Structure 1
Amino acid sequence: MLKLTKSMYSYTLIIPAAVIYTVFFLIPTFMSFFFSLTRWNLVDWEFIGLDNYIMFFREPALFNSIKNTLIYAVITCGLKVIFGLLIAVFLCSKLKTKGFLRNAVFFPTLVSTIAVGITFSVLMHPSNGLINQALAFVGISGPDWLGDPKLALLSVAFVDVWKGVGFATVIFIAGIMSIPTHYYEALEVDGGNKLNAFWHITLPLSRPAINAVIILALIGGLRTFDLIWTMTRGGPGFSSDLLASVIYKQYQGGFYGLATAGNVIQFIVVALIAFPLYKFLNRKEVDI
């Protein structure tokens, strides 16, 4: 009777979450797969098979947007891992103001992405922007950050890193603080310095946190839309178009079935990259 009661109690906790997950994730996901095979609008639909997928792969800007998406994801993921880890190591040291600094680093994560995009669009204005004015003050002619096809994607990527590095830092801080202090004490007794402690203790034993940040940052980069749309709308031309912005433009044009097929393809691409990478990164973790 006691076992039955415990089992029923467990189900009372699981069922509400399962219902919410089914209603807001599973059902919309399966509906997306279905409607990607149709020509639909808000009131009617017509089954057309794989025509949407064929049309989507014929999209002129598709392969450029996939290339941009991969570049964007790799750059933002790599910089978040590097800067997040270095900042976390610094903020785990014996600083009197580390509490304030941790809050300051995490603060951009709390700001709306749209607000960040609008703010940096103003700051990166080629003539009136504060960034180029500051560069001009020291005798450097600043570029058109968002108007130059060679710089637009990278400029948005750096803004993304500025906004997201705080979240990565928090994960790294949690990972570093979970490392037993006796490892550092033993290294200190053996005459090791701070660089030795980083390379031989902090870095290997922070691997679970590093893996988590890589997966989350890469998925975020592959799916990003709001920041790129706010700052460049995929321009100039198609130089900063990502897969998500191409899909959104199809929605804007009223090609709902085509755009839904694009969303399915994006879901598959992210899954094909994220799941094997997750398996690879977690094949053997360091035990503490």
Structure 2
Amino acid sequence: MSRVAIASIRPGSRSDAPPAASAAGGKVYRPYSYWFYLPSAVIYGVLFLVPNFASLYFSLTRWSLFESKFIGLDNFKLFFQEPALVKGFTNTLVYAVVTSGSKVVLGLLLAVLLTSQIVARGYLRSVVFFPVLVSTIGVGLTFTVLMNPERGLINGALSVVGIDGPGWLTDPKWALLSVAAVDVWKGVGLATLIYIAGIVSIPREYVEAARVDGAGSWETFRRIVLPLSRPATVTVIILSLIGGLRSFDLIWAMTRGGPGFTSDVIASVIYKQYQAGFYGLSTAGNVVLFVVVTAIVLPLSWFLNRREVDL
């Protein structure tokens, strides 16, 4: 058979394409396939886009359940004049940095431990991940009792060894960091799980080659595990940072922003405005929180993802 004949019956050749594809330069258009996006697009629009644009509109109004009055940027001006806002903004940044940084470090260390050959490895993985499954409000109420300065189990245990425990949730110096420690305890299991997935996906040939070259455990961790776990690290940083910047339920369950305003974050300031009946003001605060989270997370995500692993 000649080459011309072979080319004429070769699958995917130009003569094999339908007339519509040939007329379009070889590209096959399937209009019906785009209809599969429609249900997701409708759900996304109804549940996300519409509420977001509605929030943006109501942040420019003074509104109640039955009426609204457009007042422009007055809500934003008033929100930034709120005395607790500066303190709440500072606390939010401190809380997010402390919790996300701790989850990265502890999650990586626990993942290295739980991917090694240790006894009861599967059980220990379950123990580490269990707090993630527990209700945040339940965790907050439980640790509020445990951290009671007079009758709490933590200070009771410290007194046995001669240490006078502080007022974990009543001392302004300790309140925010105490809640952050509980947040880390509850969320480090998810960070550990992500790191375990990242470490397990590393080809064993790299580790074996490092051992053949005489690398010890520290060198293997530094040269192999740590660089190749970079995608997991980026994921943990981004998720933990978003959770820290938006944190509300644990702080509200344990301190309600107190004592005073020492553990207030942006979300708790917004909620207090909503409790006081300033609905437009609290909606403007939600818009501010959205902008703050976006302004921090998007550039950070771009910066972390643009660098490639260099072995």
1:53 equivalent to 2:76? Answer: yes
Measured on the aligned residues, the alpha-carbon RMSD in Å equals: 1.4
Q: Output the TM-score relative to the length of structure 2.
A: 0.89
Asked if 1 retains the 8 angstrom alpha-carbon contact of 2:227 and 2:310, the reply is no
Cα deviation, 1:52-85, whole Å, max 9, x if unaligned, reads 0010010011101100000000000000000000
Deviation string 1:154-210 (CA, Å, 9 cap, x unpaired) is 000000000000000011011111110000000111111111110000000100110
Report the 3-state secondary structure (helix = DSSP H, G, I; strand = E; otherwise coil) of the residue aligned with 2:42: helix
Give the distance between the partners of 1:144 and 1:251, measured in 2 at CA: 29
Report deviation, 1:287.
7.2
Instruction: Provide the identity percentage.
Output: 63
Q: 2:115 matched to 1:92?
A: yes
- Residues 1:101 and 2:124 aligned together: yes
Paired residues of 1:147 and 1:236 also in contact (CA < 8 A)? yes
Give 1:200's aligned residue.
223
Q: Deviations over 1:196-227 (max 9, x none)?
A: 11000000010011011001100100000000
Aligned twin of 1:36? 59
Give CA-to-partner distance per residue, 1:224-243, whole Å, 9 cap, x none: 00000000000000000000
- What residue number does 1:225 align with? 248
Which residue is 2:267 aligned to? 244
Equivalent of 1:268 in 280, 291, 306: 291
Aligned partner letter, 2:285:
G
CA–CA distance in structure 2, aligned partners of residues 90 and 9 of structure 1: 47
Q: After the TM superposition, which parts of structure 1 deviate over 6 Å for at least 4 consecutive aligned residues?
A: none
Query: How many angstroms apart in 1 are the aligned matches of 2:255 and 2:277?
Result: 21
Aligned residue number for residue 135 of structure 1: 158
The residue type paired with residue 70 of structure 1 is L
Which residue in the other structure is 2:32 paired with?
Answer: 8
- Structure 1 stretches of 5 or more lacking a match? none
Specify which structure has the bigger relative contact order, considering alpha-carbon pairs within 8 angstroms and separated by 6 or more residues: 1
**Unpaired stretches in structure 2, ≥5 consecutive residues:** 1-17, 22-27
TM-score (norm 1): 0.96
Matched pairs, number: 286
- C-alpha distance in structure 2 between counterparts of 1:108 and 1:72, whole Å: 19
Secondary structure, aligned partner of 2:306? coil
The 5 Å alignment of 1:171-182 reads 171-182=194-205
Query: C-alpha separation between the residues in 2 aligned to 1:192 and 1:278?
Result: 32
CA distance in 1, matches of 2:194, 2:220: 19
1:251–1:259 contact (8 Å) kept in structure 2? yes
Q: Which structure is larger by alpha-carbon Rg, 1 or 2?
A: 2
Residues 147-166 of structure 1: pairs in structure 2 closer than 5 A: 147-166=170-189
Q: Deviations over 1:214-273 (max 9, x none)?
A: 011001000000000000000000000000000000000000000000000000000000
